[in-house]
A and B are shown apart, each in its own frame.
Chain A
Amino acid sequence: MSLDRIPGSFRDPSGFLYWQNGVLLRQVNSVYLEEFEHLTESGLYDELVRQGLLIPHELVDNSLRFSEDAAKVIKPEVVEHISYPYEWSFSQLKDAALLTLKIQKLAFSKGMTLKDASAYNVQFHKGRPVFIDTLSFEKYEKGTPWVAYRQFCQHFLAPLALMAHTDISLNQLYRTNIDGVPLPLATKLLPKKTKFNVGLYMHIWMHAKSQQSATEAQRAEGDAGQGTKRNFSETAFLGLLDSLQNAINKLDWKPGGSEWHDYYEANNNYGEAGLEYKEKLVSELTASVKPATVWDMGGNTGRFSRLAAANGASVVTWDIDPGCVESNYRQVTQEQETAILPLLVDLSNPGPALGWNNNERMSISERGPAELMLALGLIHHLAISNNVPFQDVAQFFARNCDHLLIEFVPRGDSQIDKLLSSRKDVFTDYEPEAFEAAFGRYFSILEKLPVPETKRTLYLMRSQLHSGV
């Protein structure tokens, strides 16, 4: 029997996730049993699942427990692709924040509260944000404020405010700060004008000040937490949540004008007929592989991802441009698409393994391999813009997918001319023969098809690094 505890869920003493013979299970420890039963008996669990806010689970036999202190074992529905807030677009993070507040409001109405408000408790599942930590609920002790308030501001409000008011790329601060953006840091980066926004003033500026004063007061007075009991009224609690919700709702960021956002409209290498033919080819080649999972690398706003999804695949569209990821996500929600997950990645520096023991958040490779990878109009960015030799590009793809559908963009293509116009051409190896030789070391080339009206070629390959494919 194989047992494998998931490293990212070690902090909470209430329980943890583990794999048992390929089945994902969550152990509920005895110490949490009372709270867990209240979640069900209060009707909160049913309501959350009915509204699609919480990942559903089924109770399974206790003999499947991981350790002796198990009170119950549950089998949650599996989220196909785990993603992290530093990979989300603005609206993905905003929707995750609003989901968390909505769940907190519902929990409060049933006498419970969220004991943590981590952005990592939210995942995108079938096109929608969903809360995945079933053990985050505890009975609310009347008169107390929200214990997860600090975490909510650090994990959601501060990053969203920074993305909207300072720079869209600041969600990358999650990579250096495992518990969200510290509020004193946020106040150093936010423009002063955000002090005139009541919500941001209270929840970020005043909050940061209070944290700093608290540290000083604790130093001066010893333990500042010991005094007479004060009552935090129900109205104050609901008002706090409502105020956070207003602050989040007021934050906005619109894509457009970014480098890649209008790529298809502005790109001259394809006429409409050429693009349609390329779509037909991609669709047919994808169908021939019949992949369950597809990663569309440099997938822009997901035009080709949708062809793969139409063939029944579950697709992750990775792109470097926050505007493209944002537009793609907006389309997913507007069309209620369930098979596309748009995520942000810089392939020259993709999401690493992070956290305690480098084990809490998975690197991009740890979440693969994809059954099929699309790399359309991408190779020149890796080989020329980022100076990666063909062989290293081939190795990266071969490790992360079973099949690869890649487009070779040769010299003479306007995109290559553009890249080389501002730099010395040291890429003597950038020729189709060298490309085929390098990729031939890691892949079997199954198809090689020229794309009409262009000088480009599509290759379908099978990785030699994964057995049984």
Chain B
Amino acid sequence: MNKLIAFFLLMLTAEAHAYVDPGTGSMAVQFIIGGLVAMGFVIKTYYYKIKNFFRSLFGKTPEALPGDASISEANTDSEKESA
């Protein structure tokens, strides 16, 4: 695990000119996590697309895709619970 992180640290540049320190370790671990979650995210997006296709057949409104924030949905968690 440590070797993997060290590898990414050495490969990493993503020279971030941020005024808040992004943290070298935090930038590096995103490459590992990004790699791990990307495939799952693609599958999830397709799953929602297929689900929405069937929803449209039954005249239901489509659900927001995982990466889509442009549709107004319940803004807060508690609103979702009450909905």
Contact = CB atoms under 8 A, between A and B. Distances in A.
Interface residues of A, number: 70
A170 interface: no
Nearest to A240: B34
A236 B20 contact: no
A153 B26 contact: yes
Interface in B1-15: 1-2, 5-6, 8-15
Interface stretch (A102-110, A289-297, A311-319, A400-408): A102-110
B72 A51 contact: yes
Nearest to A103: B69
B31 A333 contact: no
B30 A149 contact: yes
B78 A95 contact: yes
A202 interface: yes
Nearest to A218: B24
Given A115-B20, A145-B27, A211-B23, A230 B13 contact: yes
B69 A109 contact: yes
Nearest to A208: B25
B25 A212 contact: yes
A75 interface: no
A236 B26 contact: no
A43 to B, nearest CB: 10
Nearest to B16: A147
A95 B76 contact: yes
Nearest to A238: B67
B72 A210 contact: no
Contact of A236 (B5, B16, B38): B38
- Among A13, A94, A217, A330, chain B packs the most CB atoms within 10 A around the CB of A217
A239 B1 contact: no
Contacts of B13: 225-230
Nearest to B72: A51
B44 interface: yes
Contacts of A105: 67-69
Interface in B32-64: 32-38, 40-42, 44
- Among A115, A153, A237, A239, chain B packs the most CB atoms within 10 A around the CB of A239
Contacts of B42: 235, 239
Contacts of B28: 210, 214
Contacts of A149: 22, 26-27, 30
A426 B16 CA distance: 62
B9 A213 contact: yes
A217 B20 contact: no
A65 interface: no
Interface in A191-248: 202-203, 206-207, 209-215, 217-218, 221, 224-230, 232-233, 235-243
Contacts of A207: 25-26, 29, 33
Contacts of B16: 144, 147
A66 B31 CA distance: 41
Contacts of B8: 230
B5 to A, nearest CB: 5
B78 A145 contact: no
A251 to B, nearest CB: 10
Interface of B: 1-2, 5-6, 8-16, 18-38, 40-42, 44, 66-70, 72, 75-79, 81-82
Given A13-B19, A334-B78, 19 more contacts: A145-B27, A146-B30, A149-B22, A149-B26, A150-B23, A202-B37, A206-B1, A210-B32, A213-B2, A214-B23, A214-B24, A217-B10, A224-B9, A230-B31, A235-B41, A235-B42, A236-B30, A237-B34, A239-B42
The 3 closest A-B pairs by CB, nearest first: A236-B34, A214-B25, A239-B41
